A and B are shown apart, each in its own frame.
Chain A
Amino acid sequence: MNVAVCEYGAGNVRSVVAAFERLGVSARATTSPEDIAAADLAVLPGVGSAGSAMDGLRASGLDTALRERVAAGGATLGICLGLQLALDESEEDGGVPGLGILPGRAVRLRTERIPRIGWAEVEPEGEAYYFAHSYAAETPTAVSRTEGIVAAAESGSFLGVQFHPEKSGAAGARFLARCLSRA
């Protein structure tokens, strides 16, 4: 089992790699489209702004590699901004076209405090995970929610989560283990 984590200047890549390694699988950060194509599980992490993140993906050719991988049925996990980038577009940075892997768009949160930072329960599963975001997905492919906000969305071989499993303690480790068992 090998995991390839997209390295494109917009993510806490080291923490994602470490989380998989703690589960006993081989994980590495990569800028190479070939690595993304060949991995058992590809991960698109991401923090920061949608505009500069998409620029980073395009510059490395990872955008095309991810689209082709998902089209071919390769298991792919998007984390936080990685979920938002998979959508058709984001309203962040004055409007940014996304990867178009999932239908829908990323919109600014309307919560009492923004950024929305902290642990929150995800329904229907009932586990609490760590969130840190100012935008969220609006998509018909949502499979779980937190306080009404999309927590996870899935289409074909792509699963995107708004929370950070790599920062969500024991619950996050169990989530990543499930991703590996499906890959």
Chain B
Amino acid sequence: MPLPRLIPCLDVAGGRVVKGVRFVGLAEVGDPVELAAAYSDAGADELVFLDIEATLEGRGLLRELVARVADRLAIPFTVGGGVRDVRDAQALLEAGADKISVNSAALARPELVNELAARLGAQAVVVAIDAAAGEVYTRAGTQPTGRDVVAWAREAEQRGAGEILLTSIDTDGTREGYDLNVTRAVADAVSVPVIASGGAGSARHVADALEVAQAALLASIVHENPARLTELRAELRELGVPLRNAA
């Protein structure tokens, strides 16, 4: 298996970075490219940019941001939020993104996953799932769908998803630890890589998540201070997590 991955997540809106706690109460924190570069220098294995507003006017700004990130950084990154069709996804990849992630649009029309995988390759298609109490939520975690998390993860894989990004709404922003139960259930059910998300508060939490998932998304644990990622990597090494040498 490749080495476990640490993936800082940057929530962006209107070309700026914002952060959220429990999906509400947004506060702006800075320039995405500068923050992304700081994470890359601190040893991030990948990055995720989520356009949390995904307004029509914001799409041009997002593509511009993607191009600036691709020109500046030499690590892979995923872009999500508001991807509705193959053309939109293609434009983001052409701007320099390595992968796109889809969430609500795939729930509304699951064939989208097949179309994206056929055109872009499975390795470029991440299906993001927001889960609470075993149920899938849509529209930024605000609406229950009645779908079972494990069943949807399996369906997404069968339709061509190359990775599952699983966020627990219950633990997101709490810093009380990842939801290991739902993460393990999904990781056992699919054979594509799984990225655990939501709830990291300590190196121990991240190490525990990396026991069951192939990668850990890092949001509030590093947002305020990218240098925290450097410390976190050292702490994880002490806990025996085999991270890459980023020098």
Contact = CB atoms under 8 A, between A and B. Distances in A.
Do A and B bind? yes
Interface of A: 12, 14-15, 18-19, 21-22, 47-49, 111-121, 128, 130-134, 147, 164, 166-170, 172-173
B193 A113 contact: yes
Report the contact-size class of chain B (Cβ under 8 Å from the partner).
Answer: 35 or more
Q: Which 4 A-B pairs have the closest CB atoms?
A: A118-B2, A48-B121, A128-B244, A120-B2
Contact of A115 (B71, B76, B122): B122
A167 B3 CA distance: 15
Interface string B126-168: 0000000000000000000000000000000000001100000
Contact of A119 (B3, B74, B121, B123): B3
Nearest to B191: A113
Interface of B: 1-5, 40, 45, 67, 70-72, 74-76, 93-96, 98, 119-124, 162-163, 191-193, 214-215, 244-247
B87 to A, nearest CB: 14
Main secondary structure, interface of A, reads mixed
Given A14-B95, A128-B244, A168-B74, 15 more contacts: A15-B70, A15-B98, A18-B72, A113-B214, A115-B163, A116-B2, A117-B193, A118-B3, A130-B75, A130-B76, A132-B76, A134-B121, A164-B76, A169-B74, A170-B74
5 contacts: A48-B119, A113-B192, A117-B123, A172-B74, A173-B74
A182 B124 CA distance: 31
Contacts of B74: 19, 22, 166-170, 172-173
Contact of B2 (A12, A131, A164): A131
A64 to B, nearest CB: 25
A128 B193 CA distance: 18
